[in-house]
Amino acid sequence: MAYQHTIRNKVYSFRDLKDVMAKATPFRTGDALAGICADSYEERVAAQMTLADIPLKNFLNEALVPYEDDEVTRLIIDSHDAAAFEPISHLTIGELRDWLLSDEADGKILEGLKWAITPEMTAAVSKLMRNQDLIAVAKKCAVITRFRNTIGLRGHFSTRLQPNHPTDDPKGIAASMIDGLLYGSGDAVIGINPATDSPAAVTNLLNLIDTLRLQFDIPTQSCVLSHVTTTIGLINSGAPVDLCFQSIAGTQKSNASFGIDLKILDEAYDATLSLNRGTVGNNVMYFETGQGSALSANAHHGIDQQTCEARAYAVARKYNPLLVNTVVGFIGPEYLYDGKQIIRAALEDHFCGKLLGLPMGVDVCYTNHAEADSDDMDNLLTLLGVAGCNFVMGIPGSDDIMLSYQSTSFHDALYLRKVLGLRPAPEFAAWLLKQGITDVQGKLAHTQNMSKLIEHLF
Amino acid sequence: MKDLSKKITDPWESLKEFTAARIAMGRVGSSIPLKQSLEFKLAHAHARDAVYSVLDVDGLLESIKTFGLPRLKLHSQAENRHQYLQRPDYGRLLDDASVLLINESAYPCDICIIIADGLSATAINENAIPLLDALLPLLRYKLSPICLAEQARVGLSDHIAHGLQAQLCIMLIGERPGLSSADSIGAYLTYNPQPGLTDEMRNCVSNIRPEGLPFDQAAQKIFYLVQEAFRLQLSGVNLKDNSGLLDG
């Protein structure tokens, strides 16, 4: 249905719900590239005012991509919990924003609503929120997941150790892995982006991490970020797969461009669960997302990139993931131009994911052709720490020499833990202490016993 | 304050020999020491400067003259770098003057060579001429005018080469700068170029620079792909780069 709003005798008309949402979105280059953003500052606020008055119920009746055409839409509609929705069913998007910020809406109540609120509703409400609103509400939502340790507890902050190497050289990867562990990184996962997706190469990398983990009894999990079909094959061949990784997006067509659908993910989830390798829990999936992927696959259906992203979270939460990582600044300036847009997008993604019950982490990152630098990343990292983000990346000196972009360093995570009083996952923190890597306060020890680690790997 | 230098070095510095990653940086408190912090900033500065570098059009045209081929100076619809970065679609389309110029200069030919700024004009300014020096003597084909394209994306090559009636297109374009290399050229080969092609239809030889893939080797690799493209009458995912196998 069409919507409209009048400001000083000027009538702003919006074709349908996705048009209102696109035009209400804070400016970012990707929506301009798609030709769907507001034409003026006034039109943007008019769209936001329009959106504020739209009842939540409309989102259940007006699918942004038709139910018949898109399995992500079907997943969203079919998994909606009407009974849990009842208490908020009378609200508009604007009233939801005010209520989310009220003291009444505490973490427990929000947790009970995670299947009552659809991704599109979270996206819509986020467009009416300032950055501090996104932080304040996300902070209320603790999402805790477990495999060999416990991630997402209040007062804790984890990192994915990302020891990538351009040619997957085992010694090169091992050197970065040791560096990271000795800097207290790796409790979310030790996760490698492989240079090639060949099963043999991926198996070698899995074995490399797994033998280190077993030898030193490290309470963490490993992952080589190969395509889900590769991982299924590896599971069948007996490789030590802890977590199953996949990049996902918010429309069926964009997932098809990744070579996946829900059926393949179902199969991968079941296969990984069947290995039963977790010790304290069985969250076995690791998903990566990022605004702009649907547009870049020409599969956005005229929906703004942030709403497409929120729809990807519907896919993620079907599989009770251990980790969901929005790789926010990797895609480039044609989607998120500068530090301001990257920061805003990261806070939106973190908020939407948390409200939908996901263990959100953020790859706080930028490419060299974006208008961003390490100061912007420091700002974002700090904001995410305040917002209660579950994890970020840990990369030697911020410089990923395989993917050629800049993310957060091991030192960055230590900074955040220090200024906000955060600790790693408790099991991992105990291991760091036992190894003499940190002291009882969680600070890095001056003399570290690392000779055994090096002997093991070199 | 008896020791003002509180930098703590990491006892595993020897591992640096195994990777170019920034490991064993040491720390002050738990932060990165100043020297390493400034080194990182310098690398990023080089990359940023490369993104905003400008093609040395006059110098390049002058150098190309020595190859004895006609030259064309072309421009995409992206008016400036700011727009280029935000609108990749504009960088894939020719501006009106370039379309006219191409129409006037077209004749049936085998290969169209395009030199384009891409995301690092620095790469082209420094490395395009030595690469052409190595490549052109190998190409005993009928060539179109050599084109110099500003604010260009890879997709622009389809419009240029199609307009110039070339069977095959080679675009030498500045690659997105990394922290360790701001001067890499990528060579994109497209057989039967025409507007609307996607990247699966192309072959790419990447990281061409003195410290990466040296010019002679890059030229040999490109030449191999050119021969194979003409033999098989295609380019892209079905044209495999087996040139390395010939050595073995």
DSSP output for B174-193: EPPP-SS-S--EEEEEEES-
Same-domain pairing of A244 and A122: no
Q: What is the CATH number of the domain that holds A33?
A: 1.10.220.70
Mean pLDDT of A240-256: 97
CA-CA distances (angstroms) from residue A316 to A71, A312, B196? 13, 6, 34
Query: What is the spatial order of strands in the sheet that A244-247 belongs to?
Result: A222-224, A189-192, A158-161, A391-394, A360-363, A323-327, A285-289, A244-247
B-chain residues near A369 (CB < 8 A)? 51, 85, 119, 176-177
Query: How far does B181 lie from chain A, in Å, by closest CA?
Result: 10
C-beta atoms of B18 and A415 within 8 A: no
CB nearest A175 (choices: B19, B30, B119) = B19
Q: Specify the range with the lowest mean pLDDT, choosing from A300-304, A350-354, B209-213.
A: B209-213
Given an 8 Å threshold on Cβ–Cβ distance, is A404 in contact with B178?
yes
Instruction: Please indicate whether, in this complex, the C-beta atoms of A446 and B24 are within 8 angstroms of each other.
Output: no
Range with the poorest average pLDDT among A41-50, A439-448, B67-76, B131-140: A439-448
Contact A278, A146 (CB under 8 A): yes
Are residues A189 and A248 both part of a single domain?
yes
Domain assignment of residue A175, yes or no: yes
pLDDT of B247 reads 40
Residue A458 is assigned to a structural domain of this protein = no
Q: What is the C-alpha to C-alpha distance for residues A306 and A309, in angstroms, rounded to an integer? A: 5
Distance from CA of B218 to the nearest CA of A (A): 19
Contacts of B154 by beta carbon, 8 Å cutoff, 6+ apart: B92, B118, B171, B173, B188, B199, B202
Rounded (5°) CA angle A194-A195-A200: 65
Q: What is the number of domains present in chain A?
A: 2
Closest in B21, B30, B87 to A444, CB measured: B30
Inter-chain touch A169–B19, beta carbons under 8 Å: yes
Identify the three-state secondary structure at position A327: strand
Q: Tell me the C-alpha distance between A355 and A143, whole Å.
A: 9
Hey, what amino acid is at B206?
A: S
What is the CB neighbour count within 10 angstroms for residue A130? 11
B132 close to B83: Cβ distance less than 8 angstroms: no
Rounded to an integer, the average pLDDT of A118-131 is 98
A107 with A152, same domain: the answer is no
Tell if the CB–CB gap between B47 and A450 is shorter than 8 Å: no
Share above pLDDT 90 across residues of chain B, in percent, rounded to a whole number = 85
Looking at the fold, whether A102 and A152 belong to one and the same domain comes out as: no
Instruction: State the smallest CA–CA distance between residue A333 and chain B in angstroms.
Output: 6
Helix (H) or strand (E) holding B148: strand B146-150
Of A385, A370, A419, A390, residue with least CA distance to A144: A390
Q: What are phi and psi of A315, to 5 degrees?
A: -65, -45
Of A91, A108, A140, the residue that ends a domain is: A140
Q: Is the pLDDT of residue A195 over 70?
A: yes
What pLDDT does B246 receive? 44
What pLDDT is attached to residue A32? 97
Are A394 and A445 in the same domain? yes
Same structural domain, A314 and A267: yes
pLDDT at A448: 58
pLDDT for res B242: 72
Token pair for A55: 């009842």
Mean of the per-residue pLDDT values of chain A: 96
Per-residue pLDDT band at B243 (split at 50, 70, 90): low
Cβ-contact A192, A201 below 8 angstroms: no
Q: Using a CB–CB cutoff of 8 Å, tell me whether B36 touches chain A.
A: yes
Residues from chain B contacting residue A404 (CB–CB below 8 Å): 176, 178-179
* A211 contact partners, CB below 8 Å, separation of at least 6: none
In 3D, which of B30, B25, B32 has the Cα closest to residue A439?
A: B30
User: End-to-end alpha-carbon separation of chain B, Å?
Assistant: 63
Q: Would an 8 Å CB–CB cutoff place B86 in contact with chain A?
A: yes
Query: Is A243 inside any structural domain?
Result: yes
**pLDDT band for position B248 (cuts 50, 70, 90):** very low
Question: Taking Cα atoms as reference points, which of A104, A128, A111 lies closest to residue A54?
Answer: A128
**How many helices and strands in chain A, by DSSP H and E?**
22, 14
pLDDT for residue A447? 60
Nearest-by-Cβ selection for B12 from A367, A404, A454 = A454
Q: What is the mean pLDDT of residues A2-21?
A: 96
On whether residue A163 sits in a domain, the answer given is yes
Query: Mean of the pLDDT values across residues A130-155?
Result: 98
**pLDDT value at position B237?**
81
Contact (CB<8Å) B88/A401 = no
Q: Same domain, yes or no, for A95 and A75?
A: yes
Q: Are the C-beta atoms of B111 and B139 separated by less than 8 Å?
A: yes
CB contact under 8 Å between A367 and B176, yes or no, is: yes
pLDDT at A445: 86
For residues B64 and B132, the answer to whether their CB atoms sit within 8 Å is: yes
Domain end marker among A88, A113, A140:
A140
Q: Are residues A94 and A196 in the same domain?
A: no
In whole angstroms, how far apart are CA B182 and each of A166, B52, B53, B150, B175? 17, 11, 11, 18, 8
Q: Please tell me whether residues A294 and A320 are part of one structural domain.
A: yes
Widest Cα–Cα separation across chain A: 76
Quote the tokens at residue A384.
């995410």
Whether the predicted pLDDT of B4 surpasses 90: no
Residue-level pLDDT at B73: 97
In chain B, the residue whose alpha carbon lies closest to the alpha carbon of A404 is: B178
pLDDT tens, A416-458? 999 999 999 999 999 999 999 999 989 998 665 667 777 777 7
Whether A150 and A118 map to the same domain: the answer is: no
- Which residues 182-241 of chain B have a CB within 8 Å of chain A? none
Stretch B216-237: mean pLDDT:
95
| pLDDT value at residue B3 | 58
Tens-place pLDDT, residues B100-126: 999 999 999 999 999 999 999 999 999
pLDDT for A457 equals 77
Q: A400 in a domain, yes or no?
A: yes
| DSSP H/E element including B219 | helix B215-232
CATH label of the domain that carries residue A262: 3.20.20.70
Q: Kindly state whether residues A30 and A160 are assigned to the same domain.
A: no
The answer to whether residues A191 and A233 belong to one domain is yes
Contact list in A for residue B44 (CB cut-off 8 A) is 368, 373-374, 406
Question: What is the distance between the alpha carbons of residues A143 and A154, in angstroms, rounded to a whole number?
Answer: 9
Question: Can you give the residue range of the structural domain that contains A59?
Answer: 3-140
Residue that terminates a domain, selected from A123, A140, A157: A140
* Mean pLDDT of chain B, nearest integer: 93
Rounded CA separation A206/A20 (Å): 46
> Residue B200: what pLDDT?
83
CATH no. of B55-247: 3.40.50.11240
**Which residues of A are less than 8 Å from B31 in CB distance?**
411, 414-415
